Amino acid sequence: MSPLVAIFGGRSEIGSAVSRRLAPGADVVLAMRPGPLPEAVAACLAAGANRVETVEFDADIIGGQESVVAQIEERFGPIDVAVLAFGILGDQGAAESDPSVAAGILHTDFVAQASLLTVLARRMRQRGRGTLVAFSSVAGVRVRRANYVYGSAKAGLDGFASGLADALHGTGVHLIIARPGFVIGRMTAGMAPAPFSSTPDQVAEAVVRRIRAGHGVELWIPWQLRVMFAVAPLVPRAIWRRMPR
């Protein structure tokens, strides 16, 4: 039986890059908002996927997450690898003056992620197997003034995923917490890249290597960021508040 890979956020650049790398010999489901089929469908088939299917999915609709996961598993079988590749950067300036904008960023980047991880983890734990990938960020390691709404959402997700990973220890379910730095892509278009930036392909390559390794929770992308952010808590607040995004 072919492994089933589900990418939640199948239109994202990182999700597409991960799906291509996991496609050979697998069944791939791209869960995403309605619209034209993404290039990832053809790319997965070209990479050797047995089949590629799409399922309508809006992560922000919390009440619909359970039914989407159930639909996938009823149609295609148990999910072996689930990658949560959705998220928004949001408008920091607008979020500082409009609470609904701030709440929207927190909802997509933290609440919706935590909810879906809970749904997937429960099903995988019942079967005693599976791999989950959650995308945190170095932005959540120590939140910066320049993007504190997005950063706080990632901080919440990182903490939630860390606790969930410990709860899943010994169950046969592997949770990977990917912590990339600045990713050069559509989400950051027009922004100056930060030191140790990555591309979606580089992020995907690191994630897929970890999935195949089958062990290890925290994944810094690139690894040098782990050293850099080890000293972040020691930087005086007067200096840290002036740090760029």
* pTM of the complete model: 0.93
> Domain limits of the chain?
4-240
Instruction: Give Dmax (Cα) for the chain.
Output: 57
| Per-residue pLDDT tens digits for 97-130 | 999 999 999 999 999 999 999 999 999 999 999 9
pLDDT > 90? residue 233 = no
Lowest mean pLDDT, pick from 24-28, 56-60, 136-140, 234-238: 234-238
3-state secondary structure of 80: coil
pLDDT > 80? residue 164 = yes
CA distance between the termini of the chain: 45
pLDDT > 80? residue 71 = yes
* CATH of region 4-240, choose from 3.40.47.10, 2.60.40.1180, 3.90.1200.10, 3.40.50.720: 3.40.50.720
Average pLDDT over residues 218-244: 86
Would you state the pLDDT for residue 240? 74
Rounded percentage of the chain residues whose pLDDT exceeds 90: 80
Residue 69 CA to residue 8 CA, distance in Å, equals: 10
- Among 150, 160, 182, 220, the active-site one is 150
More confident residue, 242 or 172: 172
148 assigned to active site: no
